[in-house]
Chains A and B, each alone.
Chain A
Amino acid sequence: MSTIAALPGLVSLVAEGTDNPRADFSDTPLWLSLVKALIIFVYLLVSTLLVIWFERRVIGRMQQRPGPNRNGPFGLLQTLADGMKSMLKEDVRPKAADAFVFTLAPLITATMCFVSFSIMPLAGEVSMFGHTTPFQLTDTPIAVLLVLAVAGVGIYGVVLAGWSSGSPYPLMGGLRASAQMISYEIAMGLSLVAVFLYAGSMSTSQIVSAQSGLWFVVPAFFSFFVYVITMVGETNRLPFDLAEGEGELTGGFHTEYGSMRFAMFFLGEYINMFTVAALATTMFLGGWQAPPGIAAINDGMFNEGWWGLLWFTAKLWMFMFVFVWLRGSLPRVRYDQFMRFGWKFLIPATLAWVVLVAFFRAGQNGWLGGTVDVAGRSFPVVSLALVGIIAALALAGGWMWDARVERREARLHPHVPDEIDPYAGGHPVPPMPGQRLREPSLTAPALTSRPDTEEATRG
């Protein structure tokens, strides 16, 4: 019973007041929020127009061809032309389709993708129409969870599209998509837990301000690694675009879609890319804050006001390039391997990582013993002990792995003697590559073969 009494005390050890957003919306009237919503909407639409062109051009370069270069300067208006084309195309609905759900599915995808961006801090405090306001639509204590929840609802678009088309390929694509996205959302959520532990909050503005000293990509490097993998899986992009694998599913869940309905899926996919990239920027790369060197110039001049939008956009487009780069260089993964990787490696490894980070954080808060001073800096005993244990385990594991590899090598390539007597076994044997033949001697037993073999061959 004494543990029960002790627990509330443990909970109150957490630094108070980091739960709630740091962003101050007190000077933001309702109309300004609407203006900000409109700005975010336009920002996303323009970014989508640009990124489709960007993707085609960059992939073109990677495949040694120019890419679209006819409409507008450098082909910039190509996406606009494609959009107009899909708007003017005939709207076809298969006879076997479920009419209501068939229309609902693209609507879900196209609307849900915009919602997540409402909590992304695009910049710090800016002055807009005479008001000082943070450049993000809103922030809540659970902002990052909201992104995951909205992504979960967005999956419905894909699944329902697959079901409502009324033919087998889309159904298979929809099933794959739901299984894939749910599995990878688990790993994604787990990878973000380490960031929550470091920031002490799930509000995006708090997470960004907690990174003013050190971006979380350094202490939570494994989380970043897992997040980058899951964000590709979550957005259905190559090498993980199994839901629409052309080779086996002719387009997957959107096989039966055309014209504006298809354009909505297309829009949703690209805005989802921006959402996961923006989340990665906010969680791991310091959000709108300037890169370390530039941030120090002139007392953080580049870290204030509208400059944040520049750094945020630059980091966002870095991830966009990675998406395109992956698509240009990797082939599609096999479905069962992809699922095994998610469930049997990413999720358990991330769980272990989260436990480890929890111990580090507890050590930093001084809950688990004292600190040791090394080279002028004090480190918690627990952290040092854990690092030591992990290093020892890694060393032992590496040694065992090496021994195993050596044993396997020895088994696969048994020792071959330099010389061979071709008649040693009583039957002529050709030499292995690199072997010399020993001259047959007259006393060799092989030439005088056993009588029973002779019998057998004669019979």
Chain B
Amino acid sequence: MTGTGEQVMFWILGPLAVVGSLGLVFAKKAVHAALGMAMTMIILGVFYLAQEADFLGVIQIFVYTGAVMMLFLFVVMLVGVDSSDSLVETLTGQRWATAVLAIGLGGILGAQVGKATVGQSVGLAAVNAQTGNVSGVAQLIFGRYVWVFEATSALLITAALGAMVLAHRERLGRGPDQKEWSKRRFQEGKHLAGLPAPGVYARHNAVDTPALLPDGTPSELSVSRVLTARDQNLSPSTYTDGEREIERDVREGSER
């Protein structure tokens, strides 16, 4: 019963949706994976629109792509600058267990979905013309399925509150103050005067330039971990070279 236009659209967008979902699994960068997922969600919304479920399609794009995926992206962009994936298995044999469980779940789902019988599709054209698309959805949500709908929303609100309560950690005791930090440093016997500050030179000081140790080597501890992970630190040699030049000029001048 599908028209030519719908078929053409499906065979263009369908593979794209598959590409997007494969991108979610195989992309190396987390942002690329999130983008692939966003594309798949938009295409799903377009499919709903093509099936005359206007409200559902637009809400799919509005809520999932516009809000949920955006929050994902928000987190993904902030995390992952510094973190490097550990390739060590913390739970022994978890890969095999995961594979077995995944195949089992797939098998159960496949068997159940395969058993389902699909009746003759009715389509939404008649309902859209008579009741209207939005009113039709409203009648189902606030009419026949009102208790299911309310129970689901109560569940979602509970889940959101639970996530907030669990993620928000109250501090149990008092945090260590400056005095206690210094005592701890002396007990450990390391960095007694605190971590070294980043490089300060005659004509330059910056957070991205490491300080030089007495033997002339740059100190890793003096620069931010994040900048090191991003490879954005500068070498102090440009400043030290300039300094040496000036010293040589001064020396030559005094010898003259």
Interface string of A1-29 (1 = CB under 8 A from B): 00010011001101011111000000000
Minimum CB distance partner of B129 in chain A:
A20
Contact residues of A between 133 and 168, Cβ < 8 Å to B: 140-142, 145-146, 148-149, 151-153, 155-156, 159-160, 162-164
B147 touches A153 (CB 8 A): no
Since A7-B146, A141-B128, A174-B77 are in contact, a sample of 14 more A-B pairs with Cβ atoms closer than 8 Å, ordered by chain A residue number, is: A11-B135, A11-B139, A12-B139, A16-B130, A98-B29, A101-B31, A101-B32, A145-B55, A145-B62, A149-B61, A155-B70, A159-B74, A160-B35, A182-B71
A residues in contact with B228, CB < 8 Å: none
Q: A48 at the A/B interface (Cβ < 8 Å)?
A: no
Closest to A18 in B: B132
How many Å lie between the Cα of A214 and that of B31 in the bound state? 48
User: B201 within 8 Å of A by Cβ?
Assistant: no
Q: A179-B74, A182-B70 are in contact. Are A153 and B42 (CB under 8 A)?
A: yes
Is the beta-carbon distance between B146 and A153 smaller than 8 angstroms? no
- With contacts A4-B147, A101-B35, A152-B61 taken as known, whether A178 is within 8 angstroms of B73 at the C-beta atoms is yes
Question: How distant is the Cα of A11 from the Cα of B144 in the complex, in angstroms?
Answer: 11
Contact with A along B71-86 (1 / 0, CB 8 A): 1011001100000000
Picked from B65, B74, B131, B147, the residue with its CB within 8 Å of the CB of A152 is B65
Contact of A19 among B45, B62, B135, B144 (CB under 8 A): B135
**With contacts defined as CB atoms under 8 Å apart, how many contacts are there between chain A and chain B in the complex?**
104
Which residue of the partner chain, among B38, B77, B130, B143, contacts A175 with CB atoms under 8 Å?
B77
Main secondary structure of the interface of A (DSSP, over half): helix
A309 at the interface (CB under 8 A from B): no
A8 touches which one: B66, B130, B144 (CB < 8 A)? B144
Known contacts: A11-B139, A11-B142, A101-B31. The answer to whether A149 contacts B133 by CB under 8 A is no
User: Do A16 and B131 touch (CB < 8 A)?
Assistant: yes
Q: How far is the CA of A202 from the CA of B54 in the complex (A)?
A: 11
Rounded to whole angstroms, the CA-CA distance of A16 and B144 in the bound complex is: 18
A244 contacts partner chain B, Cβ-Cβ < 8 Å: no
B residues in contact with A241, CB < 8 Å: none
Q: Indicate whether B134 reaches chain A with its CB closer than 8 angstroms.
A: yes
Q: Which residues of A contact B197 (CB under 8 A)?
A: none
Query: Across the interface, do B54 and A140 meet the contact criterion of CB distance under 8 Å?
Result: yes
Chain B residues at the A interface, C-beta cutoff of 8 Å: 29, 31-32, 35, 38, 42, 45, 54-55, 58-59, 61-62, 65-67, 70-71, 73-74, 77-78, 128-135, 138-139, 142-144, 146-147
Q: Return chain B residues, CB-CB under 8 Å to A162.
A: 77
Contacts of A185 in B (CB 8 A): 66
Those 4 A-B pairs whose CB atoms lie nearest each other, nearest first: A152-B66, A19-B132, A149-B62, A149-B61
A171 at the interface (CB under 8 A from B): yes
User: Residues on A close to B: CB < 8 A?
Assistant: 4, 7-8, 11-12, 14, 16-20, 98, 101, 140-142, 145-146, 148-149, 151-153, 155-156, 159-160, 162-164, 171, 174-175, 178-179, 182, 185, 201-202
Min Cβ gap A367→B in Å is 14
A175 and B31 CA atoms in complex are apart in Å by 14
> Can you list 17 residue pairs at the A/B interface with Cβ under 8 Å?
A4-B147, A7-B146, A11-B139, A11-B142, A14-B135, A16-B132, A140-B54, A141-B54, A141-B55, A145-B58, A149-B59, A155-B70, A159-B70, A159-B74, A159-B77, A175-B77, A182-B66
Nearest-Cβ distance from residue A41 to partner chain B, whole angstroms: 21
CA distance A178 to B147 in the complex (A): 35
CB pair A19–B133 under 8 Å, yes or no, is: yes
CA distance A151 to B74 in the complex (A): 17
How close is A108's CB to chain B, nearest CB, in angstroms?
Answer: 10
* Nearest CB on B from A121, distance (A): 18
Contact between chains at B77 and A163 (CB < 8 Å): yes
A175 engages B74 (CB within 8 Å): yes
CA distance in complex: A20, B128 (Å): 8
Does A17 lie within 8 Å of B70, measured CB to CB? no
CB-CB nearest in chain A for B49: A140
Contact check, A142 vs B134: say whether CB atoms are below 8 A apart: yes
How far apart are the CA atoms of A140 and B59 in the complex, in Å?
14
Q: What's the least CB distance linking A119 to chain B, in Å?
A: 11
A142 cross-chain contacts in B, Cβ below 8 A:
54-55, 58, 133-134
Whether B73 pairs with A159 at a CB distance below 8 angstroms is yes
Instruction: Given the known inter-chain contacts A4-B147, A101-B31, A178-B74, please indicate yes or no for A153 contacting B66, CB distance below 8 A.
Output: yes
Q: Which residue of the partner chain B has the closest CB to A166? A: B230
Say whether B29 contacts A156, CB under 8 Å: no
Cβ–Cβ < 8 Å partners of B139 in chain A = 8, 11-12
Residues of A contacting B71 with CB < 8 Å? 182
CA distance A8 to B66 in the complex (A): 32
Indicate if the CB atoms of B55 and A7 lie closer than 8 Å. Answer: no
Asked if B132 and A141 make an inter-chain contact with CB atoms under 8 angstroms apart, the answer reads: yes
- Given contacts A19-B134, A142-B133, A182 and B67 within 8 Å (CB-CB): yes
Q: Which residues of chain B are within 8 angstroms of A141 by Cβ–Cβ distance?
A: 54-55, 128, 132-134
In contact, B54 and A4 (Cβ under 8 angstroms): no
B133 contacts which chain A residues (CB < 8 A)? 19-20, 141-142
A164-B32 Cα distance, complex, nearest whole Å:
10
**A178's contact among B45, B62, B70, B143, by CB below 8 Å, is which?**
B70
- Tell whether, in the assembled complex, residue A152 and residue B62 are in contact, meaning their CB atoms are under 8 Å apart: yes
Q: Are A171 and B77 in contact (CB under 8 A)?
A: yes
Chain B residues with CB below 8 A from A8, complex form: 139, 143-144
Q: How far is the CB of A279 from chain B (nearest CB, A)?
A: 15
Across the interface, do B35 and A152 meet the contact criterion of CB distance under 8 Å?
no
Interface centre among B66, B129, B142, B144 (most CB of A within 10 A): B66
Collect the chain A residues with CB atoms within 8 Å of residue B65's CB.
Answer: 149, 152-153
